[in-house]
Structures are given as structure tokens and as C-alpha cells.
Structure 1
């Protein structure tokens, strides 16, 4: 006769397919033993003509005697017409939005929520998502039950965020830090995208059957098409040269200059490590860019700058901070102050990146080449097996960065009207044919 005691439970041997050991003293009470050796207490019963199984909990969390008492209570509910398994399922489906969000955050921080490219979300992305959850989603929907949410609720939520109903200024964990939450259209679009992912997570977990954000009409992003003119590049060069003489803004001016010459993202340059700089290959081998690992071709002006600075800088980072081997800080505040009260007051690092791509387009490079230069998803060189870059990309990087460097130094280029001048086109063709003829 088998009785589930502590000694018996801990000595029972697991089997390859897992098995259940039933207690002879209390019918319906059993121990499920998994192939891994994990053990859990269960109750099996019949309700409305169906056999149901209810998991009480893991051995270790539950002792055999407490699990036995719980089993007796559950079987008592069954005798009075109850169905504990169905009630648990209903309770699980009755999660509130706040509870669902907390589960999502826990799994996200554990690396179980995958982002772009099937990779776990980065710490910066997690911090942004948690901020949107705690500052917009939970304040507006936190107490609502997940299964009660409908598409009209999603539409109203989006309108509330656009209208700024979650606007607030709050302290952050940083010293004297604060977050100014404004809401608005861009915030609403990104928050609804995140919430769609949270509801997909709920569908996969069996909490709900359908995602209420599917088919939701969202406003379009405002396309940021600001780019520097050639005159503004010359103004930028003057600002950066003046700032480089300052002890306070010198290193930040160098970061801005490198962003201008490479088209890299702000974080890619601020956090650039010497181990990612390949001077011989004329490229940056970024370990953790927005698109994952990325090989980024850079022009000769960038190579020469890095060669010049390398002997004078120690530590891990190209632009070191004041702490122990860390990257420079306060960059956002510094570039805003540098451009304040200047003709470039509305210029951001993203504008510099967009302007680099626009110059490349002006110079006649293809979209796929430009994408490779700036590390865009559609053309990013991401293979870890790429040891040498195509000479075409190096030439493109040289051309664009050389052109931008000249603009920063005050050069005024004369526009070539070749495509509009038929005689020039004819002369160019004749010259090409003449040069191609073999010498007599």
C-alpha cells in the first residue's frame, strides 16, 4: 500500500517518460514525477463527465502532509459540484492589465521576450519599455481585466496618450534625475506598438484568445526630413572648431564631428570601444548596434583622426568619461547647449546621420550602399565572418566623409550641371571613347 510520505517522495526514481504515483490512502491524490526529477502534487477527479487534473504545487514548496490536506479540501469542493481546475483557469484569465504587465516585465528582464532579429531586448530598450508601461499603460488601464479589453478601449487609450492625459513630471533613480512625461502622437504610436506585443504575449500564454490591438488604425509617424545644407555644414564646422578649444565641450564636439563624418548613431559613437576600431580594415566592427553586430565602413578622414588620437587615450573607450574606464557622459545636454542660440538650434545627432545619408545620395551612391554606410537594417553588413570590406564601400565612405570634411572646413563646391547641359554630356562621351581607343 502506497502512502505519499516525505521519505517515499524523495526516494521515488524518475522514469524516461515521467509517471504518476497515486496515494492509496486518499484516492485522487498523487505525485507526478518528471524525467528531470522534479516532483509535484496533483489531484485528479471527474467533473461534468470529464476527467480533470489539478496541480497543487511542487514538492519542497509543499510538504506531503500539507499537500494531502489541500487535496482533501479540493476533493470536498468537487463533491459539492465545484471544479477547481476550471476555477483556476478562470482566475488566470481574469488577470488585470497591471498584473499582465508585471509578468511581461519580469520575462523581459529575464531575456525571455525577444526583440529585433530574434534577440533578447537590450537593457536600454527594456528601460524604455518599462517607462512606457509604468507611465502610460498602467495608469490608464492597470485595474481593467485583460479579458475585458476591446478594440474601442485601445482606440480610447491611444487618444488619451495623444491628448497628454498621462502628462507628469516624476523623479528617477538617478541623482537629481527627473522624467518629463508629455504624451503626444509619437509616444502614443510607440506605446500602442508595445501594448500590441504585450497582448500577443497574453495570447501565447492562453490568457486571451485575440489581440485587441489588431486592426487598430494608428496615426502615421512624422517623417524627420531635416538635413543640413552645405552652408549649414560650414556653420557647423565653425561651431565645432570653437567648442574643441573648450575643456568643457571639447570631447563632445569631437563626438559630434565623428557622427557627422560617419553617419553613425549617437550611441554607437558615444560608446565606441577601441576594440571595435579596425584601422587596417577602414571600418568599425560594432559588437552591439541597433541591428546587432555590424561592420561599418569609414572614410580616410575618420581613420586618420582615430590613428592620431589612439596614442593619447588609454582605457577601453574612444571617448572616455571621468570615472574608472567608462564612456563619456552628459552628451545630450552638451550638444543642446552647443547649438543653442545658433542657426543650428534644431540640429540633433539624428539630423547629422540623415544629412550624411543625403550627401551620399547627392553624390550618386545607391540606396543599398548608403544603407551599408550608415548601418541601416536593409543594407547593414552584419556577418561576423566578414574580415575585409568590398573596395566599393571603402571608396564610398572615403568620398562621402571627404566631402563632408571639406564642407566643415569651409570649402564651397561648385555644382556640376552636366546632366542639364547636352553639350557637356556629348563632350564627356567623346572623351570616354577617345580614352578607350588603343594607342597606335
Structure 2
């Protein structure tokens, strides 16, 4: 292998014969330093040595970009690595990997919450669930909305959602101090709203920490720091429910509502103990008037079927069939009833009752069911509780086995509310829905 001292003219003038794939020129001054040329490719400085008894070759770089003294210094450096027992190829691969990692880290440092949030909405899901429920997904979007659009009710523009300020924050900067500062500002507008937004954001951090792409920069526990947790409002469990003496006033107030669909919906909630979204999504196809059954979209399982009691069946039959939904709405985007809080507030004001929520009607069903003498297991099954979620647990009953208990509860509620209804006539296909006010006027 002939060697010559590299000079700029010699390096520039070296070419590869057209009948060969490549040609080499070796430097006489620096062991292992060579110049490789191909018929069409650019000339490159290379290093060739022996590592652990085997020949190795490493490309130093383009000969038009590297000065000869620099290439000679690089060749000596590579030989030193071999002398130290290190493979120059592995060292080069490590350097490339480190550079790639550094650039990826710099890229991640610039990724903001807002960059990732749309992916979270599209691909995220609650624990042990395949996807968001539509209502919760809508809440996530509302909490992170920029605001500035015309209000659907009232005048003016909407405010930015509590989570909106966090969207501009780099993921790497989401820490205890940043979240504490954000929470303190949002809590001035509403502590409970800010606390709910924080719980939602914790879910986002958990999701990010489970993704390899973001795990290295996100602090999963930033929202659980003591400085934040200790200022959260107390999470008191609601216990609101109708008292027996309040039933006539509540029922009368609901009957007087100008919105008949909302009136029937609220009474159906009390008579079934269903969750508000479950009942709002009820379709006419879910009601079997012939065999007196009602199939509800369940929170726990896919669906649950409960008996259609006499009064409830006749009450539902008074609703117009506007579309597929039982509790239809022509003003709602979904085509069904959406929010009855305003209607319920009117009924409560009329009855002089304070603090009763829509969910309180579900608790009321449970308490009134106990007062009627129905078994706890039957009440829990009608309400859609898991057997393990109740103190005693229960063995699921058939629809026919549940029927006498749900009828017992319905009869008890109507009696307490002072609602006249002929159950015996209903069994024979008769029975009319009569309001409290009709009874009084009679």
C-alpha cells in the first residue's frame, strides 16, 4: 500500500479510474489516514485501523470540506481510541445518538400544553374506559376554550375557560409553582370551578406521563403538590334529597312548568332513580309499552332493563313524538333535552325548597324506596349500582321480580305527593294521569 505525503494539489488531483469502483490514497505522515474516491462520488478522508484483530474503516468527512491538518488530527484521535480499547465506530454512533437526543430534548422543551391538548381530547380516555363520555368531552373543550364568542344566553362575550391560560405553557414548565400561580388566579373567579379544572388537568398530566413522547418532560405529580392541595375547597359530599313533607310542593311546582317535556323528565327522574344523562338519552325504541319494560343506557354496563310502572308509562305517553328521543328538544343540537336546571329552579322556587339538585332526585328515589319497604338490592339494581357498590351486595333480579318493588316505590311516592292514580284500573289498561291541581279543584 503506497503512501505519499498529503498536499492540497495531490488530494485535489487524485481520481478513480473509470474501470474501478473506488480508489485509495494513503498519507505517509499519519498512520491510517486515507483518501477514498469513486468515479462519481466526492472524495472523502477515511481512517483505517485494526480493532481487536479485525480491520475497521471510518469515514472522517468530505475532502473538500476538511483541511488536511484537521483530517490528520482526526485520524490520530481515532487511533488513540483504538489504543484505549474503544471502538471508534461505537464512539461515533454514541455521539450521533447524543446529538439526536439533545435535539429531541430541545424540541420537547418547546412543546406547549396547547400543542398536545388536541391529541389528548382525541385519544385520551378516563380510567378503565374506551373513550370520553360526550358530556365530559364537552366540559374539557369548554374548560380550555379561548372565549370571546357571543353568549348563547344573555348578552356579551364568553370568558376564556379556566384551563385556557395553561395552553401556552411549555410542557416542561408545568410544575408546582406554575400550577399554584395559575390556580390562585382562577380561584378568584370561582374556587370550585378552578378545583374542577385542576382535576381535569391532572388527568392530562397522567396521560402525558404514560406516553413515551412526553414522559421525559412532564411532571405527573405537579398538580398534587401540598402547596396546591392544601388550598383546595373542601370536597363535601352532597346529601340533598326531598323530604316526604316536601313532595307535594315539589310535584306541584314541577307540574306547573310551562315546558311539559321538562316537567315529565323531572318526575321520571324521581320515579326511576336514573342518572340525568341516562334518562335524557332515552329513545322511544327503548320503551316496551306492551310488556311494560324500559331499557336505559347504563353508566356501569351497556344497558339495564327495569319495569315500566303504571303511572310512569301513562306519563311518558303524554309526550309528543317529535323525533327518536322521548324527551325531545327542537332547540338542542342533540335533538334531546339538555339542561333542566332552570326549569327545576322555577319549580323549587314555587315550592319554597332550597338546595335540591337534579342528582338529589336520584338520592330521593333511594330514600323513598327504603321508606316504601323495598329491598336495598332491588333499589340498587333499578338505579344501576354495581352489586359490589352497595353495603350488602345483591343478587340481580329479573324484570318481573323487580316489578312489584318498583310499583311499590311508585305508589309510595304518589301517595306522599298527593297524586291521585287508580292502580287497579291501570292493571286493566285504564288509569289516567291526574294533576294535583285537578284533584284540588275537584
Cα shift readout 1:383-412 (whole Å, capped 9, x = no counterpart): xxxx9825443333222222112222259x
Cα shift readout 1:328-385 (whole Å, capped 9, x = no counterpart): 46633333333335412543322211211121233455555433222245669xxxxx
The residue matched to 1:284 in structure 2 has which SS? strand
> CA–CA distance in 2 between the matches of 1:337 and 1:46?
79
Counterpart in the other structure of 2:329: 321
- 1:40-439 superposed matches below 5 A: 49-51=92-94, 83-99=99-115, 103-108=116-121, 110=122, 112-134=123-145, 135-139=161-165, 141-164=166-189, 183-185=190-192, 187-206=193-212, 207=214, 208=217, 210-211=219-220, 212-214=222-224, 217=229, 218-243=232-257, 248-279=258-289, 282-287=292-297, 289-291=298-300, 293-298=302-307, 300-302=309-311, 304-305=313-314, 308-309=317-318, 313=321, 315-322=323-330, 326-328=335-337, 331-365=340-374, 367-376=376-385, 389=398, 391-409=400-418
Give the unaligned 5+ runs of structure 2.
1-39, 45-87, 146-160, 390-395, 421-442
RMSD over aligned Cα atoms: 3.8
Give the unaligned 5+ runs of structure 1.
1-23, 28-44, 55-81, 165-182, 381-386, 412-440
Instruction: Decide whether aligned partners of structure 1 residues 231 and 83 sit closer, same or farther in structure 2, where only a CA change above 3 A counts.
Output: same
Instruction: Decide whether aligned partners of structure 1 residues 308 and 191 sit closer, same or farther in structure 2, where only a CA change above 3 A counts.
Output: closer
TM-score (norm: length of structure 1)? 0.59
The residue matched to 2:294 in structure 1 has which SS? strand
Displacement after TM superposition at 1:254 (Å): 1.3
CA contact (8 A) 1:96 1:146 kept: yes
Number of residues paired by the alignment?
Answer: 309
The residue matched to 2:303 in structure 1 has which SS? strand
Cα shift readout 1:258-300 (whole Å, capped 9, x = no counterpart): 112111222333332011224466543223x444523142452
Return the index of the structure with the highest Cα Rg. Answer: 2
TM-score (norm: length of structure 2)? 0.59
